[in-house]
Chain A
Amino acid sequence: MKANNKMSKITNLVVIVFFSLSIVSCSKEFLDVKVQGGETTTSNPNLAQDLVTGVYSSLLQGDSWGNGDVHGFAFLSATSIASDDADKGSYAADQATTAGQFDNFTLTSTNPFCGTLWSGHYNSIGAANQALKALAPAPLPMATKKILVGEVKFLRGYFYFNLVRFFGGVPLVLQVPKDAHDANTNPVYQTRTAATVVYDSIIRDLHYAIANLPSKAQAGTGHATKGAAQSLLAKVYLYLAQWDSVKALTNQVITSGQYQLVQDYSLQFKQAGNNCSESIFEIETGKFNNSNFGIANWTVSQGPRVGGMGGWNDLGWGFNNPSTALINTYETGDLRKNATIIFIDNSGLHKGTVLWDGFRIPSSDSVQNLYYNYKAYTSSVVPSKETYATPGDKDRPKNIPVLRYADVLLMNAEAALHTGGDAATPVNLVRVRAGLLPKGSVTLADLKQERHVELAMEEDRFWDLVRWGDAASVLGSKGFVAGTHELLPIPATQILLSNGKLTQNPGY
């Protein structure tokens, strides 16, 4: 009897076990496991605004050897090292197959920098398209929404402007892929659009931005403004040689009263000059997560490099050295020369070079190269004269001016040279600030010279040369071939991925 009781208890237990398993099995919720630690598009009420910040964030891409570069070492190579502003720098073999190919125009379609410039810009455009998609239904006041859309369109216009100058007509993506199949098969992502169509899209985006963005005085620091959109659109028209539009837009910026030249040219390239009165749009850097936060490698890649006898803790890798051609371009007394170039002491007297913050670089027998980009220098003395989350890092963040008032003045002058009008006044504003005498009249050659020295090492020179048709004559000695090197090669892997639908630029 006792045994029977025990048995039936056990039988009951088994029945219970089998019954309970069916509960587990039958419950649908058991398999409905939500993604852990991954915010979805519905779980963030501020998603649209956050995505707009995310588009700005994509300006900081500097993964030059990896997934994307918008203003990093690859951008530097394609704009500055490729131009007559600068030589590759460092030692001969260093980055010879990446940056070196830009310096001597031996570019191939497998150059990783071409690949990361391509992906970096399309990453940014993707972020912009996603932000626009999220903004459309977002429950925001219409005025706020228009400003946010304007900011995104300004940025998208900027990204396409760089792309079209780098690669010519590119796939014009203004949408978000529906799914994997769409991403892989939709010709939008694989077929090149004529450069003119890309320009039309840039112009449309910037017109929207001009119409909806607030002026600098009303906008938050660092955000895109009406003036920035006007200046950028002026620059776009500059490349299209639509001089009337350039003139009209630059005049609007000039007469807006929002901008003026700073007295000390070099201030703009120090932290103290961040967002100064001359700044129209700049890439902002600072700190995040207790770390320096900027464009990876932008400063360290250009920092003076130890060499020869060594014996000092150097500042970087030593790339992007101002060229002797640039040095020789400056007129005597031009204050911009010493604000743009770090001259390594090569006198044999071992005085070294003392920089604005008191940092002393040893003389040339301990340094790899003779000239470095002063505009990329961050205060390296201990303690630093600038604010950094971790001053000990060599790769300290630095703001990069994208559009500044001097550029607008020179665009205005260039338009005046083509359409008639006063070119001398805007040019002389720039010259006098640089400690030079004003010119009575200005020729196109004067304008080109002024643009060269004013914007030297600011990643603009190569495109100016191409735009003026001067690239072959100026850069021919570096290996530039007309008809090919105006544009970069389309990355080989992208052509393969498109099954050949994406076509290569001529000469590659």
Chain B
Amino acid sequence: MVRKLLILFLFIPFCALNLLAQNRMISGKVVAKEDGQSLPGVNVVIQGTTRGATTDANGNFKLDLEATDNTLTVSFIGYKTQTITIGSQTSLSIVLESEASQLQEVVVVGYGVQKKSDITGAVANVKGEEMIKQPVLTAAQAIQGKVAGVQIITSGQPGTSPQIRLRGVSTALGATTALFVVDGVLTDDISNVNTADIVDMNILKDASAAAIYGSRGANGVIIITTRKGVSGKIKVSYNNNVGFRQAANLVPMANSAEYNNYVQAASGLIPPASTYNTDWYSVILRNALEQTHNLSFSGGADKSTFLFNVGYMDDNGIVINNNFKRLTMRLNSDYKLTDNLKLGIQSSFASSANQNGFGNLDIDPNGNVGSVYNDAYRAAPIIPSIVNGRYGNSSIYQNVGNPLLDINSNSVKVLENRLQGSSYLEYKPVVWLTLKTSFGADWRNSLNRLYNYQIIADNNTYVTPGGNQQNPLSSLNVKNTQSFRWVWDNTATFSKNVGKHGFTFLVGTTAEKYRLTFVSAFRKSVPADPNLWYIGVGDANTSQNDGGGDMWARNSYLGRLNYSYDGRYLLTATLRRDGSSRLPIQNRWQNYPSVGAAWVLSNEKFMEGQTWFDLLKLRASYGRVGNDQIPTNAYTQTVALNQAYPFLGSGSTATNGAQINQIIDPNITWEITDEYDVATEFSMLHSKLSGEINYYNKTVHNALISVPIPRTVGDADGLIITNAASIQNKGVEIALNWRDAINTNLSYSIGGNITLNTNQVTALNGGQNILDGYVGNQGAVTNTDIGHPVGSFYVLKQTGVFNSDAEAAGYVDKNGVQIQPSAHAGDFKYLDAKGSGPIDINKDRVFVGSYQPKAYYGINGSIKYKNWDFSLTIYGNTGNQVYNGKRGARYAGTDNIEKALVYNRWTPVNHTQTQPAANGGNLPASTYFVESGSFVRINNVTIGYTFSSETLQRLKISTLRVYVVSQNPYTYKKYSGFTSELPGGPTNSGIELSTYPTTRTIAAGISLGF
């Protein structure tokens, strides 16, 4: 009522000035009340007639009126219908109020959809338009900071997917990342999915929501739905963004003078005189161009719709020679065959080329591309990078290889083609029954090619010849991998309302099969011309080849019951029975049940008449999910082949042999996660404020882990995959959003979310703690043990620095035994944790936290003023530790040193207690290397301008928006290294060694619609 009055009030002046007219025309714009966004597709009908119009992409409409027309009916799904008296107005500004705001939103929940208000589990939704705004490779990276409970660890490397952890670290093997379901196709990698194709992402966070995916749900499930066409006129749109990337944060390294000073202080040796002063990071890094283009066509007739999108991305890495290019094409179409039979196809093709990606090589690497970032840290500044085409010889100076030559002497290229799609047939024989069968497939073909240039350590290559950075014969290594995966889902959904009782019952089966084969080949002496990089060109006497494969199958039965009573009481129960070929026959099948209940208080009688809450819901759920992500041969004893021995010696050919050198667990079984979740959801003050508070408690039983076993059992890698641990994650997620339109010109929103998580190992089945996280000569620096978070840092406690030899000698335990007998002034002082004499670098270690944050949070704000839009995303985490592995791995006296350490180090006059005296590295793992990983970052700032339709009509353009965006413009962190965002495995994350540098991006783009 207030709204209507307001509208009336706004338009009184126009009415007063208006003249009566015959055969008039009226135009107007429809916007949503909640956020002021224009609403496309709204029906505007002249009451009592069939004449009307639909609003365009900008919410504008235009109508010819006859003399008698005086009332418009404005309607749109999910919004309250309005009736507007025209009077003498010629231009209308219409604000629609949503029926129950976003509560009516429909959410994809796996094998079906559900109204958001009816959901009893923890499900988060992120819209595609929020993701496309960011100049990032994958949609997963774009949701960083947007959803509580979802931790995204990004990398600056082109062509890589970020690491996703839902509600803490819960599994240790293989699938540590969430399962993606792209239009029904299950995958663990969405780098082929163009963000512009995505309508929305639904994140099933708790086990009760994910239990319908059973054994695939242990790390959460992210369901991606791609765009579809809409009946009507064919729409054409184009959008792009072009920008630059640069390293977000560098650690200044010593220059030649500082280096000489430090090395001399450390070793007493004076480095050779040099006129060079190389900043190796500036040698290997660059400002890199990034661009993305998308062109799409969509439309349809009554019985069919289509969408076609072609996208191109060219993303240059900030490390020279590193580049990722991707072409994607998508065709989605839907057909109504009869009134009750529908057919649809979603298909996408992606073709990508990744040049010199770090660690991106699926073949034995001879190259040093991946270690170049760490080499640049250690390379001495007194060595030139390149002089008149000849490289500075760092290896002859007993230093790391020349980082520039590392890059230039290897070419690593990964070419991948991927076809992914699904098709469905949906039949509704009666109104209460839907039968659906859908078949999805994912075909990938990737070609990895590694070329190692010949490097002769002579005067042509180097300023000074010699050294060990050389490769006497060039070589070419190629590997072709093909994989095919299909999944066939069949479901029947019964839906019936009986009075106030609403039932939806789903039953179904799914079957899935995967097959992979690869062949690889190798030859030496292939010429340096890239046109000759084919195996046949190489020396046949050096040929080697390999091949192999993998295959697995899964089969499941699933059922789900949704019951609601009067919109007040909601119940969801699911059961999935999973069978997997990855597990031995006696453990092959497992049931995954879940149950969730919710009480919608706001629909109760006693809440009637109150105006505070639009929605108030309490919900509680329990669910079980699992994990079978182990190598397919984990339970089968296999024989290691090609363990040959050349009995005749003298260069003779070896006799082939075999070994049994892997100890297996024949009784390996499912990893099971049980999760309890309690939450409240609310929406109040006319949906201006909405929010959700979740408490969860999940325990992983029988976690599948590669456990180190005593070497004495004769296992070649000393590891065995078994159900080895129980891990618990407990936490609270809070999300609050406020959005309001002050007037039709100004609207804004601000939202925040925070997740508090604690992780702990509660049991180790074999009683065996897991040491991992190897750093240079320091050995393992993490320990996964009962009572501590997974992958906790486990190191000596550095308590100070000895200021004199006497002080070191006088550092004794209670029995007077010297604790650090070989220490001198300037050396670190370590805590004698066990209190028993000389420091034992194994026994005197202490737990000092883990890479897992105690909290992570995001803040999202947006303002819309007239045609301008502005948005801001902040992301941060706190309470995590990182290990400065680059410092820890320093081991040669010739290694460079951070500039700050040259000046801050302990000296006889500077008695700092936090930095040691000048040294050649090789310090034991200690708390000195463990630093706070807390950081807060402005993730994204975007300013956009949308041209008004008046301006555009003359250009026959329906929409045009231009924008400028900065991704990652500013980070505040405590860590002294390059980045505290350090992806890795569950037991070895948070260690900075050769991690690709994080980037900052500035880009501009347009989005254009016809």
Contacts and interface: CB of A to CB of B under 8 A. Distances in A.
A39 B579 contact: no
Contacts of B509: 21-22, 24-25
Contacts of A34: 551
A93 B920 contact: yes
Contacts of B643: 50, 53-54, 57-58, 127
Nearest to B639: A39
A38 B718 contact: no
Given A53-B655, A275-B650, A31 B714 contact: no
A291 B777 CA distance: 31
A176 B664 CA distance: 11
A40 B513 CA distance: 22
Contact of B550 (A7, A36, A387, A390): A36
B13 interface: no
B425 interface: yes
A18 B465 contact: no
Best-buried of B425, B557, B779 by chain A (most CB within 10 Å):
B779
A287 B710 contact: no
Contacts of A329: none
Interface in A152-205: 170-171, 173, 176-177, 179-181, 183-185, 188-190
Contacts of B585: 32
Given A11-B429, A286-B652, A24 B581 contact: no
Contacts of A59: 645
Best-buried of B458, B647, B714, B766 by chain A (most CB within 10 Å):
B714
A493 interface: yes
B644 A495 contact: no
A258 interface: no
A274 B711 CA distance: 33
A271 interface: yes
B922 interface: yes
B718 to A, nearest CB: 6
Nearest to A177: B713
Interface stretch (B91-99, B125-133, B890-898): B890-898
B654 A37 contact: no
Contacts of A130: 659-661, 714
B636 A288 contact: no
B640 to A, nearest CB: 8
Best-buried of B459, B544, B585, B661 by chain A (most CB within 10 Å):
B661
Interface string B711-739: 11111111010100000000000000000
A176 B657 CA distance: 19
A399 to B, nearest CB: 5
Contacts of A35: 632-633, 636, 638
A7 B339 CA distance: 11
Interface stretch (A118-126, A238-246, A461-469): A118-126
B488 interface: yes
B656 interface: yes
Interface in B903-947: 920, 922
Contacts of A58: 643, 659
Best-buried of B398, B841, B894 by chain A (most CB within 10 Å):
B398
A459 interface: no
Interface string B564-581: 000000000000000111
A497 B708 contact: yes
A316 B891 CA distance: 21
A286 B648 contact: yes
Interface in B541-567: 541-544, 547-555, 557
B894 A293 contact: no
Nearest to A500: B843
Contacts of A127: 643, 659-661, 714
Nearest to B472: A392
B994 to A, nearest CB: 17
Nearest to A317: B468
Nearest to A270: B650
A281 to B, nearest CB: 12
A41 interface: yes
Contact of A271 (B511, B639, B640, B650): B650
Interface in B184-233: none
Contact of A37 (B396, B542, B549, B708): B549
B338 A389 contact: no
A180 B712 CA distance: 13
Interface in B854-903: 891-894
B960 to A, nearest CB: 45
Interface residues of A, number: 118
A217 B825 CA distance: 66
Interface in B471-529: 472-473, 488, 490, 492, 509, 511, 513, 524
B249 interface: no
Contacts of B716: 67-68, 123
B299 interface: no
A94 B400 CA distance: 12
A134 B660 CA distance: 10
A389 B841 CA distance: 45
A286 B557 CA distance: 56
Nearest to A127: B659
A306 B467 contact: yes
A30 B551 contact: no
B710 A183 contact: yes
A127 B341 CA distance: 62
Given A22-B509, A387-B650, A40 B637 contact: yes
A399 B771 CA distance: 37
Contacts of A91: 398
B971 interface: no
Contact of B644 (A123, A221, A293): A293
B257 interface: no
Given A32-B581, A317-B468, A185 B766 contact: yes
B643 to A, nearest CB: 4
B589 to A, nearest CB: 9
Nearest to B589: A31
Interface in A359-397: 386-390, 392-394, 397
Contacts of B466: 306, 310-312, 314
B779 A493 contact: yes
Given A24-B511, A37-B549, A286-B646, A492 B842 contact: yes
Given A36-B632, A392-B473, A497-B768, A189 B490 contact: no
Contact of B633 (A38, A312, A394): A38
Given A40-B638, A180-B664, A284 B435 contact: no
A33 B581 contact: yes
A173 B656 contact: no
B638 A39 contact: yes
Contacts of A223: 647
B639 A222 contact: no
Contacts of B427: 10-11, 14
B359 interface: no
Contacts of B456: 313
Given A30-B553, A126-B714, A51 B659 contact: yes
Nearest to A186: B713
A491 B708 CA distance: 14
A353 interface: no
Nearest to B711: A119
Interface of A: 6-7, 10-11, 14, 17-18, 21-22, 24-25, 30-41, 44, 47, 50-60, 67-68, 91, 93-94, 96-98, 108-110, 112, 118-119, 122-127, 129-130, 134, 170-171, 173, 176-177, 179-181, 183-185, 188-190, 220-223, 271-272, 274-275, 282, 284-291, 293, 306, 310-314, 317, 386-390, 392-394, 397, 399, 491-499, 502
11 contacts: A25-B511, A30-B513, A50-B639, A173-B714, A282-B649, A286-B649, A291-B542, A306-B466, A310-B393, A310-B464, A497-B708
Given A31-B580, A36-B549, A493-B779, 8 more contacts: A31-B579, A37-B548, A51-B658, A110-B779, A221-B648, A284-B646, A286-B653, A287-B653
Q: Sorted from nearest, which 5 A-B pairs have the closest CB atoms? A: A126-B714, A53-B657, A286-B646, A310-B466, A387-B651
